[in-house]
Chain A
């Protein structure tokens, strides 16, 4: 992925294998000697954390599927069977349920990091769009996963969200019937959601491979937002970034375990411990926390179809971010006006999340509309900012941004002495 490999197998068997399938060389060039900008901060560890979470979800999920029964009359009981009778079933299920939330915590940090440091800008547009696709697949997977325990919130959440598709003219009703496999959310819905919930993570894994591939062509962006020029700007992936990623991962797992072991139901809904009942509607139908901002946008628009379009649009607009942001400067650290609007966008997203959990009436709706307007307005502001903003002075090199002018001069000087052809 990172140009030609410098890997030389040490053994005869290794050489024999490498000349037939150069996979060890690929791993070596991608995750051992791969040159990363030396100034990456801890926000850049979330890619590795996300890879871990995907694997953790697949492993716990496959184990749960060995004990789970996808049937409308048995699903709820089989989840409780896992909680009570399967050895460490409670652990596996709580890891999986809280793992979904942690996956989204990590992906939101990852996305906001990309937005702050302009990681979506050329030449990383495809990398960014692949990320948006992963995000969409994650949302679909998480939504269908939440339906599987067949509690009240599973059932009614599925009913509300699948019904959204009925807003589309002409084909809407057909789509909904197709999603349900009948004329209401019922056993066929549960079965197809289980099937797709099992399939989608492997599609995510596939897109993740493309995402990493696209990453390794230009390499990581960095907090200074400038490209690497000399060897002094980079450090090999191993051991510098393997150890940094490992430290961040372990700290993240501690947060994950805190929820799993000490407050495992905090991120869920009490109503989902009531078995699904088509005859009784819960007082408040609320999606999981990670969908709340988008749910608030949906409800902010009085027209159903427009609301649905706004909700999908709020994610789709991210894919166009590389072209909506007109500034030549990547990193928010050198964009004073951008910084204000970025943080306002971040806080706005949190408020939207809070509003998504509130009833859709009175002041909440008005607040949702203001926040929705800013959510989309942010992208228009970004477009204009590129023309009016005066960025502050960029460092001459990545090395200079970390080591300071003198340090970098010394370092560059040293490298220039060693390699006369390198530009100073």
Chain B
């Protein structure tokens, strides 16, 4: 039985490796980053999320909405770790359209912690019209909504290593992937060339440049992290990962408890089973 299985497996492996030549596309695979939230014990780096939020607020939010995230989320456990006071003050800097009031009129009021992040445009059509006809996608779950193909055999190993950073790695690659179009590639007016974007012709201009966002200073007066486009890209991608999966830390922490319990329980059951079955398995001997 074993031999037959091995033989058929060998045939299968042969088939699997014979086919892939034409699977390789022309879009390069985004490089992997060393995220603090990788793996079963991964956690978000609060200072990185705070910097990422700043990049989002000052750059991305000019065109992209983030309609599933509320201000209050920013002070929730497992997030960027702003205080409730900071969040309240931040929300108040926004004017939120509310209503209708008792007179039937819509009105504007200062934001509250419970409000969702307001969108930069009143609707999708307005957003597209202001951005050369392309709607800038909502960023709430973008870190889970983008990926690249891992291919065989990596996707098999990913189950054990819990690798699931395709989306966030892709975002970093995309944000730093702007370059001059290679010879022979025509880039239409109002479009840009990006190495990592599928098809390479992207409507979003290069959003990040060195020094564009000021980072908080450490005690010695230097910025917390390098004020470079690459660092901005990593920080905002980490922030978007949190926005897409705000309960990730709680999930992994609970997972450890649950799996520890189950491992112990399975161990006890194993010995219980052995004990019970020993009655009938040894019975044959005498």
A residues contacting B by CB (< 8 A) are 38, 77, 80, 83-84, 90-91, 94, 235, 239-240, 243-244, 246-247, 250-251, 253-254, 257-266, 270-271, 273-274, 283, 332-333, 339-340, 343-344, 346-347, 350-351, 354, 358, 362-364, 367, 402-404, 407-408, 410-411
Contact = CB atoms under 8 A, between A and B. Distances in A.
Interface stretch (B85-93, B142-150, B184-192, B225-233): B142-150
Interface string B150-181: 00100000110011101100000000000000
Among A84, A94, A404, the one with the most B-chain Cβ atoms within 10 Å of its Cβ is: A84
B277 interface: yes
B146 A270 contact: yes
Contact of B19 (A77, A266, A363, A411): A363
A83 B277 contact: no
B123 to A, nearest CB: 13
A250 B262 contact: yes
Interface stretch (B1-9, B104-112, B204-212): B1-9
9 A-B pairs with the lowest CB-CB distances in the bound complex, closest first? A261-B255, A407-B284, A273-B145, A270-B147, A403-B284, A247-B269, A262-B162, A263-B162, A273-B144
A19 B169 CA distance: 67
Contact of B167 (A80, A264, A270, A408): A270
B258 interface: yes
Contacts of B4: 339-340, 343
Contact of A283 (B40, B198, B262): B198
Interface string B264-284: 011001101100110010011
A239 B269 contact: no
A38 to B, nearest CB: 7
A250 B262 CA distance: 7
Interface residues of B, number: 59
Nearest to B272: A243
21 contacts: A77-B68, A90-B251, A91-B251, A240-B276, A247-B266, A250-B262, A250-B266, A261-B259, A263-B159, A263-B162, A266-B158, A270-B145, A270-B146, A270-B166, A271-B145, A332-B1, A339-B1, A340-B4, A346-B8, A347-B12, A411-B283
B244 A273 contact: yes
Contact of A351 (B12, B159, B247): B12
Given A84-B68, A243-B272, A254-B266, A354 B152 contact: yes
B139 to A, nearest CB: 12
Given A263-B158, A273-B144, A351-B16, 16 more contacts: A84-B68, A240-B280, A243-B276, A243-B277, A244-B273, A247-B270, A247-B273, A254-B259, A261-B40, A270-B144, A344-B8, A346-B8, A364-B19, A404-B284, A407-B284, A411-B284
Contact of A333 (B1, B144, B163, B166): B1
B262 A257 contact: yes
Contacts of B283: 411
Nearest to B13: A347
A91 B254 contact: yes
A164 B244 CA distance: 34
Nearest to B145: A273
Interface string B129-146: 000000001001100111
B24 interface: no
Contacts of B140: 80
Nearest to B170: A270
A254 B137 CA distance: 37
A266 B164 contact: yes
B15 interface: yes
Contact of B5 (A250, A343, A407): A343
Nearest to A284: B149
B183 interface: no
Nearest to B271: A247
Among A247, A254, A260, A266, the one with the most B-chain Cβ atoms within 10 Å of its Cβ is: A247
A350 B13 CA distance: 11
Nearest to B144: A273
Nearest to B164: A263
Contacts of A235: 280
Given A80-B141, A246-B269, A270-B145, A350 B258 contact: no
B252 interface: yes
Among A240, A258, A362, the one with the most B-chain Cβ atoms within 10 Å of its Cβ is: A258
Contacts of A84: 68, 73, 246-247
A38 B15 CA distance: 40
Contacts of B265: 250
A149 to B, nearest CB: 11
A254 B256 CA distance: 11
A56 to B, nearest CB: 14
Contacts of A363: 18-19, 22
Nearest to A370: B15
B251 A350 contact: no
Nearest to A38: B280
Given A240-B277, A339-B1, A411-B284, A257 B259 contact: yes
B126 interface: no
Contact of B273 (A243, A270, A350): A243
Among B68, B167, B286, the one with the most A-chain Cβ atoms within 10 Å of its Cβ is: B68
A259 B164 CA distance: 11
A261 B254 contact: yes
Nearest to A346: B8
